[in-house]
């Protein structure tokens, strides 16, 4: 081979290996541990691009960052209930449905009642999480009911419990434990929910929405208010990463009610690369891609052929049984009503400022 041919071959090899540094970039702003690495890699290879993932731990923190002008994101993954606020404030752009044929083809309509924007005007549903209680099985005292929010006031868990650092999740748990709607706008009910959470807070070490999963796994804490996906990822383990299944960890969805929260994919109004954003949304609605993604994420995506393709052992862990699902309540928007938002903000300030177990975070 002549030198020039050699160099051309080397250049071709570099291109094929994805080593060009002038590749287009897709910036995604999402929750932690929420997209399978294989899915990211598959998308990069199919589109000759690079994907950069940045994470947030609550809708409020995501919103604050976007408001402060910290964008450069193409895709943002707010919870469904938070989409109307982002749309109202012009932070996300209307969806061009002509660019995402897989969505119309593969969307599983049985999820329609759980989302806020069933016409996909501003967002396309990504995956659903259920909020419950992740726990270390051997630390639950005999007779204690871990399928009830009241476990948070059991003195056996003093300093060993954490709450999500999330206003709607925490106040919602208080509301549901009292038999009220998760989406209550009633000041008296919200007040009672605060009192309930403050009772639990005597045991609570900190508010945290990301590290609790490894803390329960390592016994640093024993009870974590948390997301089904996080807990199931730990319980099922990750063979490839060398993480064995954890039979000693459980996840319970309280009988008084639990949160059903869809997270969505929205295209940022200032998206540097909207074409790649649409390509990604369409890609994750492919049945085979969705299957791989769900078996990593451990939460259902509303992608009918993906759900149909799940391996049986995973389907049982990912798709809720109807008798369990009916105890859940769908998180709905209250944030777009300024008076109700103020009520929740005040309640949250009181929760954060009062009491807590030793070294409880404020």
Among 26, 27, 29, 34, binds ligand N2P (CB under 6 A): 34
Q: Is 32 in the site for ligand N2P (CB under 6 A)?
A: yes
Among 122, 227, 258, 285, binds ligand N2P (CB under 6 A): 227
- Size of the chain, expressed as the number of residues it contains: 362
Q: What is the DSSP letter of 352?
A: H
Under 8 Å between Cβ of 236 and 119: no
Under 8 Å between Cβ of 324 and 344: no
Among 80, 114, 129, 162, binds ligand N2P (CB under 6 A): 129
Q: Is 79 in the site for ligand N2P (CB under 6 A)?
A: yes
Nearest approach, Cβ of residue 292 and ligand N2P (Å) = 17
Residue 203: which residues within 8 A CB-CB, separation 6 or more? 152, 153, 154, 155, 157, 158, 159, 160, 161, 223, 357
Closer to ligand N2P at the Cβ: 154 or 206? Answer: 206
Closer to ligand N2P at the Cβ: 234 or 276? Answer: 234
Among 31, 81, 222, 344, binds ligand N2P (CB under 6 A): 31
Q: Contact region for ligand N2P (CB under 6 A) — 29-37, 176-184, 216-224, 300-308? A: 29-37
Site for ligand N2P in 240-269 (CB under 6 A): 261, 263
Q: What is the DSSP string of 82-94?
A: GHHHHHHTT-EEP
Tell me the site size for ligand N2P, rule CB under 6 A: 11
54-72 residues labelled b (16+ CB within 10 A) or e (exposed): eebbbbbebbebbeeeebe
Q: Is 33 in the site for ligand N2P (CB under 6 A)?
A: yes
Distance from C-alpha of 27 to C-alpha of 38, rounded to nearest angstrom: 17
Catalog residues that contact ligand N2P under the rule CB under 6 A. 31-34, 79, 129, 227, 229-230, 261, 263
């Amino acid at each position: 081979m002549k030198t020039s041919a050699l160099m051309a071959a080397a250049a071709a090899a570099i291109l094929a290996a994805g080593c060009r540094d002038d590749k287009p970039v897709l910036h995604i702003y999402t929750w932690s541990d929420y997209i399978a690495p294989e899915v990211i890699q598959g998308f990069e290879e199919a589109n000759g691009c690079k994907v950069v993932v940045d994470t947030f731990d609550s809708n409020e923190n995501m919103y604050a960052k976007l408001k402060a002008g910290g964008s450069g994101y193409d895709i943002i993954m707010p919870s469904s209930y938070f989409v109307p606020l982002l749309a109202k404030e012009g932070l996300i752009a209307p969806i061009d449905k002509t660019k995402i044929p897989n969505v119309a083809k593969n969307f599983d309509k049985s999820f329609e009642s759980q989302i806020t924007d069933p016409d996909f005007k501003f967002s396309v549903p990504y995956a659903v999480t259920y909020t419950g209680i992740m726990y270390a099985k051997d630390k639950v005292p005999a007779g204690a009911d871990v399928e009830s929010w009241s476990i948070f006031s059991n003195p056996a868990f003093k300093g060993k419990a954490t709450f999500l650092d999330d206003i709607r999740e925490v106040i919602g748990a208080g509301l549901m434990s009292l038999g009220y709607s998760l989406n209550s706008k009633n000041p008296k009910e919200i007040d009672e929910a605060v009192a309930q959470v403050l009772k639990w807070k005597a045991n609570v070490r900190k508010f945290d929405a990301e590290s609790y999963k490894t803390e329960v796994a390592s016994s640093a804490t024993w009870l974590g208010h948390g997301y089904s996906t996080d807990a199931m990822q730990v319980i099922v383990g990750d063979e490839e990463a060398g993480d064995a299944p954890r039979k000693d960890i459980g996840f319970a969805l309280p009988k008084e009610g639990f949160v059903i929260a869809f997270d969505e994919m929205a295209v940022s109004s200032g998206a540097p690369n909207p074409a790649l954003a649409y390509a990604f949304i369409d890609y994750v609605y492919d049945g085979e891609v969705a299957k791989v993604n769900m078996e990593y994420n451990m939460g259902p995506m509303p992608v009918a052929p993906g759900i149909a393709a799940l391996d049986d052992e995973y389907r049982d862990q990912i798709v809720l049984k109807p008798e369990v699902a009916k105890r859940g309540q769908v998180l709905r928007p209250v944030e777009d009503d300024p008076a109700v938002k103020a009520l929740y903000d005040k309640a949250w300030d009181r929760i954060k400022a009062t009491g807590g177990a030793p070294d409880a975070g404020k």
